[in-house]
Homo-oligomer: A and B are copies of this chain.
């Protein structure tokens, strides 16, 4: 049996957002590798070894996957959301690049998933209905100045912006700085969405104006979407929807 690595996206949390392709990969796996809470989503069964590991151990986790695959195991590395968006796929290729030559014999497949921004956008309407940017606010692997530069450019272009990893206990002040930058550059009534624990039982969506937004409205389980200038609300008896129209305001 020749080994393989599949890097699979589990989606944001709901079981019925996991694609059949990913489900089949899990069903055929011998080993599941990933961050503790993601591996916890996989049902144990005979013949399947679960290997949960802690956060910030992405390269070690990738190396573990390659070593198991070299022994013939069928390894599935699980990520929340989509594995290609601020998740394990890039880490696996980083490990492959500098790892032993024999790792290059392993077949690697990336199986896409519903990334948090798509599920968050869907849950509140269509705020990403026009051009948008996707920015990781964690400065663990990049300088904060680069984040500030990119946010500034995204605002200048009037992109809607999806922010991943806005705030954590170890990074309490980054989002505060970014929010200050946004408040200085955007109209006070521009919309901002805080989408927490999307598609789980704890889902909470909070829609505010930029003027009302506060840093502590976000944590590590929150996906933040800043609307474009044209983004707007529709109130109905059941729900409030947020959307960004397909036409630019200048037309």
Tell me the A residues contacting B by CB distance below 8 Å.
Answer: 11, 14-21, 24, 58, 82-86, 89-94, 96-97, 104-105, 107-115, 118-119, 121-123, 125-136, 141-143, 146, 149-150, 153-154, 156-157, 159, 232, 234, 236-239, 241, 243-248, 250-251
Contact = CB atoms under 8 A, between A and B. Distances in A.
B84 A128 contact: yes
Contacts of A153: 153-154, 156-157
A19 B11 CA distance: 10
B21 A19 contact: no
- Does more than half of chain A's interface fall in helix, strand or loop, or is it mixed? mixed
A136 B133 CA distance: 12
Given A91-B246, A131-B135, A132-B133, 5 more contacts: A90-B126, A90-B130, A93-B234, A146-B250, A150-B157
B250 A84 contact: no
Contacts of A250: 142-143, 146
Given A84-B121, A157-B150, A248-B146, A93 B126 contact: yes
A237 B105 contact: yes
A243 B90 contact: yes
Task: Report the 7 A-B pairs with minimum CB-CB distance, sorted nearest first.
Answer: A90-B129, A142-B248, A89-B126, A93-B243, A110-B122, A104-B236, A16-B21
Contacts of A11: 19
Contacts of A85: 118, 128-129
B94 A243 contact: yes
Nearest to A138: B246
A24 B19 contact: no
10 contacts: A18-B19, A85-B118, A90-B129, A107-B238, A110-B126, A112-B118, A114-B114, A115-B118, A133-B133, A143-B248
Q: Name which of A104, A122, A251 has the most chain B CB atoms within 10 A of its CB.
A: A122
Contacts of A18: 19-20
